[in-house]
Each structure stands twice: as C-alpha cells, then as structure tokens.
Homo-oligomer: A and B are copies of this chain.
C-alpha cells in the first residue's frame, strides 16, 4: 500500500572549501541573484537551491549576531 509521506531532505554537509567560497562571496554580496547562485552551484557542485538556503541561513545568522551585539551595547 502506497501513501504520500512528508520527507525531509537529508542535511547537506558542506565541505570547508565550499563554506570558504560561500563566506567570501557573502562578505561582498549577501543577496546573490540567481545568476551568481547558479554560477556558485556549478563551481561547488551543489544544487542552486542549496546555495539559496545557505544564503538565507547565513543572513539570518548575521542578523541574529547583529541583534545580539546591539542588545549588549544597549545593556551597558
């Protein structure tokens, strides 16, 4: 008997090299367009949507750290 099940994509384990390139791109452009993402995808042998999610999460991490440091500042 077959049934539709929701299945999570297995977590992608980026290599150091992949993260290094992504980070260096992030420093100059944290909102890469589809063109650049496709380019990175090909260079890093990843799917473009992995790249897109990586940048979403990276931006979230940046905003989080920014908020936390502002908070520390305000508490002084």
Asked if A4 contacts B6 (CB within 8 A), the reply is no
Note all chain B residues with C-beta closer than 8 A to A2. 4-7
- A9 CA / B3 CA spacing, docked (Å): 11
Could you say which interface size class chain A belongs to? under 10
Give A21-76 interface residues, CB cut-off 8 Å to B: none
- A1 CA / B7 CA spacing, docked (Å): 6
- With both beta carbons as reference points, the residue of chain B lying nearest to A2 in the complex is identified as B4
- A6 CA / B2 CA spacing, docked (Å): 5
Q: Which 7 A-B residue pairs are closest in the complex by CB-CB distance?
A: A5-B5, A3-B7, A2-B4, A1-B7, A3-B5, A1-B9, A2-B6
Asked if A8 contacts B4 (CB within 8 A), the reply is no
